[in-house]
Amino acid sequence: MSDKSSSNDAYWKANVRIITICLIIWAFVSFGLGIVFRPLISWIPIGGTDLGFWFAQQGSILTFIALIFYYTWYMNRLDREHDVDEQ
């Protein structure tokens, strides 16, 4: 196998790693803070209700947007580092 394909393997591994991290955050803010762990953070007040309600209705959506743009930025850098970006 050439250097190119081992570099591609490293690229894919790094990609799967960042996807995993992003999806852990994705699940944590929505299923975690918004639903399952809501009772645990109910002591934090926000605008007449508790933090879990805010995550369910707004916080998770805002985090999703941040996650996609972070991933886009990270991947653009990774594409260049591994020399697989589109010229």
Partner 1 sequence: MDQFTLNLLVVGASFALYVGIAIWARAGTTADFYAASRGVNPIVNGAATAADWMSAASFISMAGLIAFVGYGNSSFLMGWTGGYVLLALLLAPYLRKFGRFTVPEFIGDRFYSQTARIVAVICLLVISITYVIGQMTGAGVAFSRFLEVESWQGLLIASGVVFIYAVLGGMKGITYTQLAQYCVLITAYTIPAVFISFQLTNNPVPALGLFSTHAESGLPLLAKLDQVLLELGFQDYTGNHGSTFNMVLFTMSLMIGTAGLPHVIIRFFTVPRVADARKSAGWALIFIALLYLTAPAVGAMARLNIITTIFPNGTQEQPIAYDERPDWMLNWEQTGLLAFEDKNNDGLIQYYNDRSEEFASVAAERGWEGNEMVTFNQDILVLANPEIAQLPGWVIALIAAGGLAAALSTAAGLLLAISSAVSHDLLKSTFMKGISEKNELWAARISMAGAIALATYLGLNPPGFAAQVVALAFGLAAATLFPVLMMGIFSMKMNTEGAVAGMLAGLFSTVLYIFTYLGWFFIPGTNMLPNTPDNWILGISPLSFGTIGAIINFAVAYAVMSVTREPPQEIQELVYSIRVPRGAAGAIEH
Site for partner 1 (CB under 8 A): which residue of 12, 17, 40, 81? 12
**Binding residues with partner 1: total (CB under 8 A):** 45
- 54 scored as a contact of partner 1 (CB under 8 A): yes
**CA torsion through residues 69, 75, 78, 83, sign:** negative
Q: What angle do CA 42, 44, 50 make, to 5 degrees?
A: 55
Using the rule CB under 8 A, which residue among 10, 23, 40, 44 binds partner 1? 23
Rule CB under 8 A: choose which of 10, 24, 40, 62 binds partner 1.
62
Compute the least distance from the CB of residue 80 to partner 1, in Å. Answer: 10
9 close to 82: Cβ distance less than 8 angstroms = no
